[in-house]
Each structure stands twice: as structure tokens, then as C-alpha cells.
């Protein structure tokens, strides 16, 4: 679909490379630019068997070609400049001054003013402006800054992170949106532009519900006001695995029936007369106001059921439920398999498993990509494409410098 | 400066002609969070969005807490929209919906699988009168498979997808994220990514298409790196407090006063970290020579680092880690970050004037230099029903006349 679009991805870690991956699945030709030390994600734990690159790096960089820059700024600029000049999109997590050192100052300034067709996606940890704009950041520090860590664990005890890289993945997803929206706009105006995104900004955008809740609420009530101070949410205990369950539905002020029949079936008729319960189960299940007081009452009855049995029973009575599974089980669950979320592809004699692009399209064809590039594997090939001959490249590199392309 | 910050008219529903999707029309037939925020993001990108509420109302209007009687959840999820009430179960409401869909570029819906088809509002029906339509269906578990009819919500998907079992203290089984709605908003982010891809495809082919997004796939997308570590590296992250799965040291350390959050991802940063601790010799310790070794020998590493960090206050470590080019920071809460210069200067939160008073919502996640986007206040429920139906019926009449002339 994006056939013919050249993207230069001068970004490491998760956010920029994830954007590059999704856009390449949509058909773009992505050239990954790495410094001679390589994307730090190559060093992530764990490495894939039989190789030295991190497993997450492999997944994030499937289907890309890699150019390694010389350590000499002049030599690096001589390759990077023509590469970016010929590209439709530049995705980078490099600061502007670092790009200027590599000869891109004029190119990115023109893009920002809409004077060229280049779309420049600039990703930072903390945003383009402000006192922290040149500070380094990370997944963890972004989660802490935006208050995400407050909704795990216990206030006053050691902090916990979200194990998922939500700041980085969120930013990568917003970066894909930015590229596609800017392409849509460019098709009308002929103009490229610059788009700034940051890990911190992404997490706050995705926190909109909680920001609004804390703005000026009428009363101190509900999980969005008190959630940070609630006990950890560990699920309802059953005979085996914990479950999460919620009754009451989501339409209208009162919700959906089903809870009454459910409590009768599991032998909790006493709850029908309990003033802490409403007849649709909203306030005594899920994140209802009286959940914490009533949890043990429910759990006493739940010890008769396995987690899966209980979840089935709750669904039968029009409630929502799931066992707390580990992701390995999620990936092999019949539901996940029915959606063909995990696919296999063979490359270099190895069969590798990947997760597909996270949506199903009626018509649009996605590319299946399997192989990540070695550091600088395509430096010569790309140099040739942008009009630099092999001997010129060697001369640019100067004496004794290793651009990594022959590793 | 932020357009959003200075937005003062509570009920404008004003369009933004400069934004990238200016001129596109979105029909948002969704409630709760995942569908509504999809349409809200498209609105921030400049599209004209009409939200269709059932007569009973979107349940978020009553979700706690409320501000001046209106659910703050409803306000946050329905920015950049107009609001109309239609009973899609009745002939009249369905007819209005079809008229609106005929003039729309994008439909967003999040009914359970099969409901829109039963209402006569499925993709196949709408495509007959509008072949350019991009029709986005958002579901919990996807539209095929044994759980396709199962109800879903954020905490349900945190449980099903494995998201909650990545969190917790070392040795714990799980710690669900008590900030509910995150998976909904992740789903919306994936939905917008996919809708935009379908729009670009329409530019090339002239045809719209159906796009299906599920909370299951979005939650797995959020776990991209952890899933890859399992599928390609055979390692599954277990709850480990604040420590990262992929890097070490990358965690919060208790200091003399509060915790300092610090991340070392590059080898150069590891040497800088050791300098910051005033322990340059540590950098040469073979147990910690590479990141994979530091992850494997994390307990020994923390045994060395913890007592050192505990001797000085967090502010010292902010300075010395900062000087050494290492990512570090403190934990904040709403009241400290909303006025933080970094957050304010970058418009990362958007205070907006609503009919229920000023509310702070998330700022736009992208800052376009040539096609700036902004957050506009949410509508009152039912506010635009008369206006929209009048316009729609006039348009329909014109279309009929044009049709009969032909």
C-alpha cells in the first residue's frame, strides 16, 4: 500500500523502530540508519538462540535494511544527506543538534516550514521544548513522570513498573498515525512537515480518563480518584487461578441484569439482601465501590470452581470475566489462534514466530517480514542507490574507520 | 502556544480547517472508551465527528467520578465531537444512521460481534450506498473464535492478554493496573493507525474497506517487546518490581529520601553509571561486562548498587546521573505534573472549558508543524440532534433530486 515510499529510520530502542516496522508491513521501504555502535536494542536481553541480537530487536527490525554511519561526522553526513534527501519520511529520535552535526540542519528546517515534501517525525523522551528537552529518558522514567507507577503495588512501598513498554509502544503507534496523517495531508498540499512526539506526551494522552477524573470531581469516589490508594488488584481467588469479573454492562445509568441469577447459582443468595450490592452487580463486582469489602464473601463461594469454570459461568449470566493468564497461554489460546495473531516465517534456514500487524483489513495486503539486518549490512547497497560509488564510500570512511558494513 | 489551552467556548464543536483530516466526516456509533477515543483522535486530527448515543445514554455519563453531574470519563472520551441521540433499534433511527453513513468517510462502531448486522447497519449494507467508506469495528476478543461474543472491558483484557501478569513485586503472580481504561485507549490508538492506513489505501484505489481491531490484539501490541522475548528468545518476563525485563540496571532505587528511577540501556551509559556512583572499577567487573550479563547477574549488581544509592538523597542522584548522561527521574502525580513546566510548555495536558466546568484532558499526542491539531470541548449529550438531522435530511433531499434529474 505504501509501495514506493522510502523511510529513513534513524532511531533506536522501541518507539521509532516499531513505527518503521508497522509502516514497512504496510509496504514502505525502510532503511535503518545506525551509528557504528549499533541500535542499543541489539544488546537487549534475551538474545535469540544462535545469534547475538536481542529477541526484541529482531522482531522490531524485520524487513529493514541497515546502514552503519561512519564515526567521522563528515563521512557520515556524506552518506546520510543524500539518503534523507531522497526519502519521503525521516523517523528519528536524535536531537536536532545531533542531526545538524550530520549535515541535516537545512533539510529538517525546510521540512518543518513545509518547504519540501519530507515528513520528519521527531521522537524524544520529554518533548521538544522545556527545561528537560535535552535530557535522556526511558520507558521507566516516562512511566514514573506521568504517574503510571502509582496505580500498581502499594503506596509508600517500592515502586513497580508496567511490564509492558507502554510509553515506547504507544509513541510508536502515534508515530505511525503521524506519518499516515502527514502523508494524507501531503497528497493534498504537496507539502511535507515536521511532527514532534514524546514518550511523556504519549502516556499523558493515553491517561486522559484519569486526568479528567482528577480535575475537579464533585465527590471523592470511584477507582479513577482513589485507585492509587486501593489495595493491589490481584483478582478473585478460585479453586485454582484468579479471575477478574464484572457485572452490570455499560449502557445507561443502571446497567444489565444477570447478577441476581449468578449469585443464586453460586450459592450467594445472602448478597441479594446486602445493602452493599445493587441488583445488577455493578457496585459489588469489577471496580465497584464495595468490591474490597465483599471480595472474601464472593471468594468463599468461588473455591468450588476452577477459574475457567467460573469465567464460563459468569459469561453465561451476562457478566464479563477472564482468568488472569500469562501471555504464553494467551498466545496459544483457541481465541488467539482463531484470529491467527501469531504467524511463522522462514528465514536463513530458521522458522521464526511473529505477531502480525494488530488489525484485520478487508482489502489491504500486508507484507510478511521476517529477517532483521546485521549492523551496516546494506551500507554499500544503499550508498550505491543514492549515487555513491564503492571507492567513494571507502574514501569517505577515511583510514582505519569501520562503518561496520563488512562485519 | 496551545490552541487547546485557550479554548474558551464550551459548546463550539468548531472545525479545524488546517488539521490533516480537515473535511473528513466520521460517524461514531460507539460507547465507553475504545470506540469513542478512536473517534476523538480522528476529531483532533481535524475530522468532523458525530457521536451517536443510544436513548439510554453512553454509560460513561454515570461512571464515577462526576463533575457538576457529568461523568468525567464521558468528557475525556468525547472531545472534538458533536452529539446526537438515535435509537438504532427503531426504523427511524436506523434510517437516520444510514443517511449519515452515506455521507461519511469513516464509521467507528464497537457493538458486540453481529449486532450491527442485525440492526441492518453492517458493513455490507453501508458499502452498497458508500463504496468509499472505511468501516472500523472494534471488539474485545475479535470477530471470530470461541470468545467472539464474550463481553470485554479493560480489566478483563488485562487478565486475558497477560498484561497484568507482567506486573508485581518479585515472586508475585500479578498486579493489575488500577488505572483502568488504558487498554481501551491503546485499542483506540491501534484503531486510528489502521483507519489511517485504510484512508491512504482509498487514496490509491478509490475504495473503502472494513477494518477490524480488537482489544486483544491491541493489548498484545502493547506487550510487543515481551511477546517477542517469548516467541524469539524463549524468555517470559515475570513480575519484578520496577526492574526491566530487557535491561539492567533499569529500575527504581531507594535513596536517602525517595526513589530515584534510572535506566541504563547502552554500554556507554553503563560506564557513565559506574562513574556517577564513584565506582569506576565496577565497569570492569566481568560479571557485569554486557547488558545480558547484568540482567542475569542482577541480584549481585543490585547488592552492590543499592547501599551506595541509599546514602544520598534523590536530588543528588538526579544531578549526578544527569551530568553523566543517564536517564533518570522521580515519580510524579497529577498535581505535580499538571503544572510542571515541561508538561505545560509541550501542551501535554489540555485544560478545556466544558459545560460542566474546566476539565484537564490529555493533550494531542502529535505536534504537526504545518497542520496543527487541538483538543476541543465535548458536546452535551443530544446537543446537535436537531441540527444534524436537519442537515442530513436536506442533503438527502438534494441527493434525491439529483438522482431523479439523472
pLDDT tens digit sequence for B156-207: 999 999 999 999 999 999 999 998 899 999 999 999 999 999 999 999 999 9
- Report chain A residues whose CB lies below 8 A from the CB of B144: 338-339
B184 and B308, same domain (yes or no): no
Query: Is the domain of B347 the same as that of B316?
Result: no
Closest-CA distance, A91 to chain B, in angstroms, reads 13
State the Cα–Cα distance between residues B87 and A252, nearest whole angstrom.
13
Q: Are residues B376 and B395 in the same domain?
A: yes
Interchain proximity B225–A56, CB inside 8 Å: yes
Q: Are residues A310 and A177 in the same domain?
A: no
Q: Answer yes or no: do B325 and B355 share one domain.
A: no
Domain termination residue (choose one: A323, A344, A376): A323
- CA B305 to CA B288: how far, in whole Å? 12
Report the DSSP beta bridge partners of residue B138: B213
Is B101 a domain residue? yes
State the Cα–Cα distance between residues B333 and A144, nearest whole angstrom. 9
Residues B55 and B153 both lie in one domain: yes
In a domain, A348, yes or no: no
Residue A336 is assigned to a structural domain of this protein: no
Q: Is A349 or A82 the better-scoring residue by pLDDT?
A: A82
Helix (H, G, I), strand (E, B) or coil at A102: coil
Whether B149 and B191 share a structural domain: yes
Query: Which of A206, A112, A178 minimizes the C-alpha distance to B20?
Result: A178
Separation of alpha carbons A343 and A341, rounded Å:
6
> In this structure, are B366 and B263 located in the same domain?
no
Which residue of chain B comes nearest to A251, CA vs CA?
A: B59
The beta-carbon neighbor of A164 closest among B76, B197, B223 is B223
Whole-number average pLDDT of chain B: 93
Inside any domain, residue A222: no
- Report the half-sphere exposure of A102 (CA within 13 A, side-chain side): 22
A314: buried, middle or exposed (CB in 10 Å: 19+, 13-18, 0-12)? Answer: buried
In chain B, the number of structural domains is: 2
Residue A185 and residue A57 in one domain: yes
CB contact under 8 A, A214 and B360: yes
Of B129, B57, B130, nearest in space to B87 by CA: B57
Inter-chain CB proximity A129 and B345 less than 8 Å: yes
Residue B270: its H or E element: helix B267-276
Contact B368 A181 (CB under 8 A): yes
Query: Between A166-189 and B224-233, two packed helices, what is the crossing angle to 10 degrees?
Result: 110
Of the partner residues B155, B167, B203, the one whose CB lies closest to the CB of residue A246: B155
- What CATH number is attached to the domain comprising B268? 3.30.1540.10
Angle at B61 between CA B57 and CA B65, to 5 degrees: 160
The answer to whether residue B156 is domain-embedded is yes
CB pairs under 8 A between A and B: 597
- The more confident residue out of A407 and B405 is B405
Q: Into how many domains does chain A fold?
A: 2
**Is the pLDDT score of A270 beyond 70?**
yes
The answer to whether residues B157 and B289 belong to one domain is no
Give Cβ neighbours of residue B400 (< 8 Å, ≥ 6 apart). Answer: none
Range of the domain at B380: 25-222+335-405
In this prediction, residues A89-96 reach a mean pLDDT of 98
Q: Please report whether residue A44 resides in a domain.
A: yes
Report chain B residues whose CB lies below 8 A from the CB of A149: 242, 252, 331
User: Is residue A258 in a domain?
Assistant: yes
Q: Are B51 and B376 in contact (CB under 8 A)?
A: no
Summarize pLDDT for B286-332 with one digit per residue, the tens: 999 999 999 999 999 999 999 999 999 999 999 999 999 999 999 99
In this prediction, residue B15 has a pLDDT band, given cuts at 50, 70 and 90, of low
Task: Give me the phi and psi of B142, to 5 degrees please.
Answer: 100, 170
**Spacing of C-alpha A31 from chain mean position:** 21
Query: CATH no. for residue A277?
Result: 3.30.1540
Q: What is the pLDDT of residues A48-67, one digit of tens each?
A: 988 899 999 999 999 999 99
- Are B369 and B400 members of one domain? yes
List, for residues A288-320, the tens digit of each pLDDT value: 889 989 999 999 999 999 999 999 999 999 999
The answer to whether residues A375 and A66 touch, using CB atoms and an 8 Å cutoff, is yes
Instruction: With respect to residue A25, please indicate whether it lies within any of the assigned structural domains.
Output: yes
Give the integer Cα–Cα distance in Å for A212 and A202.
16
Confidence of residue B12 (pLDDT cuts 50, 70, 90): very low
* Three-state secondary-structure class, residue A104: coil
Residues B103 and B190 in one domain: yes
Q: Which of B145, B181, B230 sits opposite A334 (nearest CB)?
A: B145
Cα angle value A225/A228/A234 (rounded, 5°): 120
Instruction: Determine the residue of chain A that is closest to B265 in CA distance.
Output: A40
Which domain, by its residues, includes A240?
236-323
In this predicted structure, the answer to whether residue B66 has a pLDDT above a threshold of 60 is yes
How far apart, in whole angstroms, are the C-alpha atoms of residue B188 and residue A242? 28
Amino acid at each position: 500500500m505504501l509501495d514506493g515510499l522510502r523511510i529513513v529510520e534513524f532511531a533506536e530502542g522501541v518507539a521509532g523502530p516499531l513505527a518503521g516496522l508497522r509502516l514497512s508491513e504496510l509496504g514502505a521501504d525502510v532503511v535503518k540508519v545506525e551509528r557504528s555502535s549499533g541500535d542499543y536494542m541489539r544488546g537487549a536481553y534475551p538474545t535469540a538462540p544462535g545469534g547475538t541480537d536481542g529477541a526484541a530487536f529482531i522482531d522490531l527490525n524485520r524487513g529493514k535494511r541497515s546502514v552503519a554511519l561512519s564515526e567521522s561526522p563528515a563521512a557520515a553526513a556524506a552518506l546520510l544527506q543524500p539518503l534523507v534527501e531522497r526519502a519521503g519520511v525521516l523517523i528519528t529520535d536524535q536531537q536536532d543538534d545531533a542531526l545538524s552535526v550530520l549535515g541535516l540542519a537545512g533539510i529538517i528546517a525546510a521540512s518543518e516550514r513545509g518547504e519540501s515534501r519530507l515528513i520528519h517525525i521527531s521522537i524524544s523522551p520529554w518533548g521538544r521544548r522545556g527545561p528537560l528537552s535535552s535530557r535522556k529518558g526511558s520507558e521507566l522514567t516516562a512511566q514514573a513522570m506521568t504517574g503510571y507507577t502509582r496505580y500498581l503495588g502499594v503506596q509508600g512501598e517500592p515502586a513497580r513498573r508496567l511490564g509492558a513498554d507502554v510509553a515506547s509502544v504507544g509513541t510508536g503507534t502515534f508515530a505511525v498515525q503521524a506519518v499516515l496523517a502527514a502523508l494524507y495531508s501531503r497528497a493534498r498540499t504537496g507539502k511535507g512537515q515536521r511532527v514532534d512526539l514524546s514518550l511523556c506526551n504519549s502516556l499523558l494522552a493515553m491517561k486522559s480518563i484519569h486526568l479528567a477524573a482528577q480535575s475537579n470531581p464533585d465527590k471523592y469516589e470511584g477507582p479513577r480518584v482513589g485507585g492509587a490508594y486501593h489495595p493491589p488488584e490481584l483478582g478473585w481467588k478460585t479453586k485454582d487461578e484468579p479471575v477478574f469479573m464484572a457485572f452490570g454492562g455499560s449502557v445507561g445509568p443502571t446497567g444489565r441484569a444477570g447478577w441476581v441469577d449468578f449469585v443464586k447459582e453460586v450459592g450467594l443468595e445472602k448478597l441479594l439482601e446486602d445493602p452493599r450490592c445493587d441488583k445488577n452487580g455493578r457496585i459489588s463486582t469489577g471496580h465497584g465501590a464495595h468490591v474490597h469489602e465483599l471480595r472474601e464473601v464472593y471468594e468463599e463461594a468461588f473455591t468450588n470452581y476452577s477459574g475457567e469454570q467460573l469465567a464460563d459461568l459468569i459469561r453465561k449470566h451476562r457478566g464479563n470475566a477472564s482468568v488472569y493468564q500469562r501471555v504464553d497461554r494467551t498466545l496459544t489460546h483457541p481465541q488467539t489462534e482463531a484470529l491467527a495473531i501469531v504467524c511463522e516465517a522462514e528465514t536463513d534456514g530458521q522458522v521464526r514466530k511473529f505477531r502480525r500487524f494488530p488489525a484485520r483489513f478487508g482489502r489491504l495486503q500486508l507484507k510478511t517480514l521476517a529477517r532483521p539486518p546485521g549492523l551496516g549490512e546494506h551500507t554499500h547497497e544503499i550508498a550505491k542507490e543514492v549515487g555513491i560509488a564503492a571507492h567513494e564510500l571507502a574514501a569517505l570512511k577515511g583510514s582505519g574507520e569501520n562503518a561496520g558494513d563488512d562485519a | 502556544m496551545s490552541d487547546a489551552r485557550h479554548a474558551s467556548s464550551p459548546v463550539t464543536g468548531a472545525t479545524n480547517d488546517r488539521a490533516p483530516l480537515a473535511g473528513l466526516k466520521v460517524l461514531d456509533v460507539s460507547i465507553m472508551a475504545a470506540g469513542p477515543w478512536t473517534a476523538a483522535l480522528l476529531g483532533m486530527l481535524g475530522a468532523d465527528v458525530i457521536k451517536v448515543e443510544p436513548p439510554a445514554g453512553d454509560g460513561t455519563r454515570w461512571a464515577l467520578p462526576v463533575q457538576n453531574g457529568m461523568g468525567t470519563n464521558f468528557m475525556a472520551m468525547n472531545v472534538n465531537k458533536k452529539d446526537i441521540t438515535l435509537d438504532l433499534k427503531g426504523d427511524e433511527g436506523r434510517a437516520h444512521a444510514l443517511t449519515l453513513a452515506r455521507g461519511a468517510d469513516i464509521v467507528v462502531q464497537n457493538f458486540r460481534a453481529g449486532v450491527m448486522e442485525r440492526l441492518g447497519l453492517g458493513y455490507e449494507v453501508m458499502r452498497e450506498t458508500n463504496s468509499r467508506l472505511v468501516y472500523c469495528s472494534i471488539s474485545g476478543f475479535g470477530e471470530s473464535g470461541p470468545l467472539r461474543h464474550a463481553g470485554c472491558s479493560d480489566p478483563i483484557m488485562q487478565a486475558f492478554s497477560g498484561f497484568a501478569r507482567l506486573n508485581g513485586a518479585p515472586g508475585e503472580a500479578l498486579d493489575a493496573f488500577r488505572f483502568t481504561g488504558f487498554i481501551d485507549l491503546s485499542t483506540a490508538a491501534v484503531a486510528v493507525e489502521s483507519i489511517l492506513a485504510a484512508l491512504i489505501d482509498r487514496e490509491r484505489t478509490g475504495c473503502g474497506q472494513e477494518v477490524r481491531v480488537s482489544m486483544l490484539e491491541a493489548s498484545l501490541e502493547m506487550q510487543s517487546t515481551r511477546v517477542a522475548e517469548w516467541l524469539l528468545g524463549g524468555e517470559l518476563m515475570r513480575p519484578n518490581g520496577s526492574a526491566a525485563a530487557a535491561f539492567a540496571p533499569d529500575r527504581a532505587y531507594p535513596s536517602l529520601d525517595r526513589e530515584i528511577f534510572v535506566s541504563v540501556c547502552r554500554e556507554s551509559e553503563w560506564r557513565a553509571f559506574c562513574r556517577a556512583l564513584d565506582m569506576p572499577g565496577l565497569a570492569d567487573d566481568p560479571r557485569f561486562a554486557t547488558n545480558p550479563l547484568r540482567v542475569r547477574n542482577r541480584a549481585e549488581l543490585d547488592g552492590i548498587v543499592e547501599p551506595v544509592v541509599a546514602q544520598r538523597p534523590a536530588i543528588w542522584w538526579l544531578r549526578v546521573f544527569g551530568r553523566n548522561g543517564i536517564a533518570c527521574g522521580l515519580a510524579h502525580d497529577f498535581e505535580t505534573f499538571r503544572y510542571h513546566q515541561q508538561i505545560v510548555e509541550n501542551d501535554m495536558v489540555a485544560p478545556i472549558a466544558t459545560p460542566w466546568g474546566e476539565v484537564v484532558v490529555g493533550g494531542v499526542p502529535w505536534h504537526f508543524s504545518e497542520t496543527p491539531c487541538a483538543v476541543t470541548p465535548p458536546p452535551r449529550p443530544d446537543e446537535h440532534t436537531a441540527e444534524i438531522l436537519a442537515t442530513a435530511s436536506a442533503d438527502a433531499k438534494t441527493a434525491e433530486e439529483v438522482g431523479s434529474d439523472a
